[in-house]
Amino acid sequence: MENNQIDYHVSFFKPKTRRNLKNRNMILWLVIIWATAVFGFQILLRVIEKPVPEPAYNTFVSVWENVQTENASTEELKDFANSVSFVIGKVYIKPEYQAALSNAFTWSVFRIAGDEREQLYEVLVDFEKMQAESEDIFDPSYVESKKALETYIVKLLDIPQNDVRKPILPFSMSSQKTESYSAENMKITEEAMSMYLIHNRSVLTDTVFLGFPFHYFFTAVFLLVLFIGLCLTYCIITDRRIAKEQLL
């Protein structure tokens, strides 16, 4: 009965002993550091970021209206095809966007080709045929047809020799999409262009640290170091405190 009068109660926020108070304070400090580093940094990133378009997006916007109304000049079509190819050149575009962008690219390249359309069409069909028939990507006939189409497109769009898009362009064409550019695909193209060419950037993303964009380093490398550091701190302090109590 006597024991029942002792108030046994545990509450994180109302520690009853000096030892528990110290432990509570240490945990609170560690949690505050942890939460600020994890969530605070991302909130800061969110607050200061601004949507920044790639140059290709600005080019796209400048010619888009004329392309839609089919009033674009050859130069404008070149700009359009070039800007679209910047998105096509990226790795792993969503399939629904790939189809629409392929339509946009093929259609514009064929419009640019003008009198050479039939010749371009033959080269394209030959490449598609070789692509379907060849079992090996090192097959000389396949390689030759690919090179022929690549050279053709590069010439039509004035793409520099050093440009990384060059080897990818033959795969962006489709002989089924040379004549029309559907309204639906136009809509999807517009969506894909803004999706893949506008990025959230800030001083934290543009600063390079140890080769990384800073925000990437902070999240992928530093936070993990911090987590280990926090755990280590907790264990060392707890061990010291227990040792001290045992001495007393």
- Quick one: tokens of 241? 């405190």
**Which amino acid, 213?**
P
Residue among 116 and 213 whose Cβ is closer to another protein: 213
147 and 167 Cβ atoms separated by less than 8 Å: no
**Rule CB under 8 A: is residue 4 a binding residue for another protein?**
yes
Q: Closest distance between another protein and the C-beta of residue 145, in Å?
A: 13
- According to CB under 8 A, which residues from 5 to 34 bind another protein? 6, 8-12, 20, 26-27, 30-31, 34
**Rule CB under 8 A: is residue 221 a binding residue for another protein?**
yes
Pick the piece of the chain touching another protein (CB under 8 A) from 57-65, 89-97, 149-157, 173-181: 89-97
**Rule CB under 8 A: is residue 42 a binding residue for another protein?**
yes
- According to CB under 8 A, which residues from 95 to 134 bind another protein? none
- According to CB under 8 A, which residues from 193 to 212 bind another protein? 194-196, 198-201, 205, 208-212
| Identified binder of another protein from the candidate list 86, 110, 127, 152, rule CB under 8 A | 86
Residue 52 phi/psi, 5° resolution?
A: -120, 120
Give CA angle at 180 (126, 195), nearest 5°. Answer: 95
Q: Closest distance between another protein and the C-beta of residue 73, in Å?
A: 26
The whole-angstrom separation of Cα 168 and Cα 176 is: 18
**Rule CB under 8 A: is residue 90 a binding residue for another protein?**
yes
Distances (CA, A) of 9 to 2, 19, 20, 22: 16, 15, 12, 17
Give CA angle at 165 (161, 171), nearest 5°. Answer: 120
Give CA angle at 159 (158, 164), nearest 5°. Answer: 175
**Rule CB under 8 A: is residue 89 a binding residue for another protein?**
yes
Count of positions (residues) in the chain: 248
Count residues contacting another protein (CB under 8 A)? 71
Pairing label, strands 198-201, 208-209: unpaired
Q: x/- string (CB under 8 A) for another protein, residues 56-85?
A: ------------------------------
| Identified binder of another protein from the candidate list 49, 116, 126, 128, rule CB under 8 A | 49
The whole-angstrom separation of Cα 120 and Cα 116 is: 6
